[in-house]
Chains A and B, each alone.
Chain A
Amino acid sequence: MIIIKKVGNQSYILENPVNILETASIVGPKEKDGPLHEFFDKCLEDEFWGEKSWEKAESKLVKETMNLAISKSGIPNSNIDFCFAGDLLNQCIASSFGIRDINIPFIGLFGACSTFVESMIVGSSFIDGNVATNVVCSASSHFCSAEKQFRFPLELGNQRPPSSQWTVTGCGVAVLTKQGNGPYITSFTPRKNC
């Protein structure tokens, strides 16, 4: 029997709610000064984090946050079926290099600002469709690597308007499982870009 999960034009209700078992986040120094700092697992003092380049620092962010979330969840790496991760860099290098050592099948995503929700949507759909039982979803960005990728070099002497946005230095990871005590993902509505 085929169960139709689509409601309305673009909303989907999952057959079985997907459980968000555990989350982890590591952020940079500017986020530490913000009002949400007490909710992060770790705040960095330095944007390089002992690495030689911004991209390597972002990879390390992904790796450490991923390890933290997985160890908090208590699920062994071998029982995690997929890793959905994305970032802002070319070919998702921060994520793909960051998860090299944790030995989980990787599906790279790119949704710019929406990457994290995108990874949760794809992850919960995989679980709901019985393709996977446990997945990790992640998104990361780094102010310095994003500036280099999309805007100007950091050393360029230009002025930013007061309303200009500041790309987050940080990484967030969520571990999704088939069963658990919530919170749950029950439905999702992707936006049309119009």
Chain B
Amino acid sequence: MKPIQSNEDYQKYVDEKTPNSPILKNCFNAFWVGGLICAIGQIIFEYCQIRGIDETNSYTIVSMLLIFTSAFLTTLNIFNKIGKFAGAGSLIPITGFANSIVSPAMEYKSEGYVLGVGAKMFTVAGPVLVYGISTSIIVGLIYILFNTQNLILV
């Protein structure tokens, strides 16, 4: 082996030795688990429609059930195993968001209810909320500025 003399050489050496993530396998698992979660959501939605619930309420019911299931599985220490297997497949749907709020709440319970659970609950989801909401405000402003002629409140 030739001696490592510069930072670039060292970086090259590290890249050579570091095992890569199994990207294809991860993508495949993420695809089918994510698809399955969405399919479950759709099944719940269709069932609500059959039972005669209107569309808006059906969507709310779907969100509520998926969030509850994810939060419940998190507390049983099952969701992190699904997450390890499926990655973004379980992280990107609403299930991942529920998990990212419940898991800090569980972890920081040992520090008390106010300064532990209350203060640390959004350590993972907080940045998503801040930038998600900020972006939606900016997009909303652009919409109002450039689309005043046919502004429709949905």
Chain A residues with CB under 8 Å of chain B are 52-55, 148, 152-163
Where chain B touches its partner, the secondary structure class is helix
Q: Which residues of A contact B100 (CB under 8 A)?
A: 156
Closest to B21 in A: A161
How far, in Å, is A116 (CB) from chain B's closest CB? 24
Query: Which residue of A is nearest B96, CB measured?
Result: A157
- Report the minimal beta-carbon distance from A48 to chain B, rounded to whole angstroms: 11
Query: Judging by beta carbons under 8 Å apart, are A155 and B107 in contact?
Result: yes
If A55-B110, A152-B124 touch, whether A157 touches B91 (CB-CB below 8 Å) is: yes
B18 touches A157 (CB 8 A): no
- Contact, CB under 8 Å: B104 / A153: yes
Q: Could you tell me the distance between the alpha carbons of A163 and B18 in the complex, rounded to whole angstroms?
A: 6
Q: Is the CB of B124 within 8 A of A153?
A: yes
List B73-114 residues whose CB lies under 8 Å from chain A.
Answer: 74-75, 77, 79-84, 86-87, 90-91, 96, 99-100, 102-104, 106-108, 110
Q: Are B107 and A148 in contact (CB under 8 A)?
A: yes
Do residues A159 and B83 form an inter-chain contact, with CB atoms below 8 A?
Answer: yes
Interface string of B48-63 (1 = CB under 8 A from A): 0000000000000000
- B140 located at the interface, meaning its Cβ lies under 8 Å from any Cβ of chain A in the complex: no
Interface residues on B, range: 20 to 34
Q: A152-B124, A154-B107 are in contact. Are A159 and B102 (CB under 8 A)?
A: no
A156 to chain B, nearest CB (A): 4
Is the Cβ of A155 less than 8 Å from the Cβ of B80?
yes
Dominant secondary structure at the A interface: loop
Interface CB pairs A-B, < 8 A, 15? A55-B110, A154-B80, A154-B103, A155-B75, A155-B102, A155-B107, A156-B80, A156-B99, A156-B103, A157-B80, A158-B84, A158-B91, A159-B21, A159-B26, A162-B21
Max chain A C-beta neighbours (<10 A), residue from B108, B110, B124? B110
Q: Which residues of B contact A156 (CB under 8 A)?
A: 80, 83, 99-100, 103-104, 124
Determine if B150 is an interface residue (Cβ-Cβ < 8 Å).
no
Residues of B within 8 A of A157 (CB): 74, 79-84, 86, 90-91, 96, 99, 103
Q: Which of A52, A53, A153, A155 has the most CB of B within 10 A?
A: A155
Please report the C-alpha to C-alpha distance between residue A55 and residue B116 in the assembled complex, in whole angstroms.
Answer: 14
Residue B147 at the A interface, CB < 8 A? no
Q: Choose from A152, A159, A163 the contact partner of B87 (Cβ within 8 Å).
A: A159
Q: A54-B110, A159-B87 are in contact. List 10 more A-B contacts (CB 8 A).
A: A53-B110, A153-B104, A154-B107, A155-B79, A156-B103, A157-B74, A157-B86, A157-B99, A162-B20, A163-B19
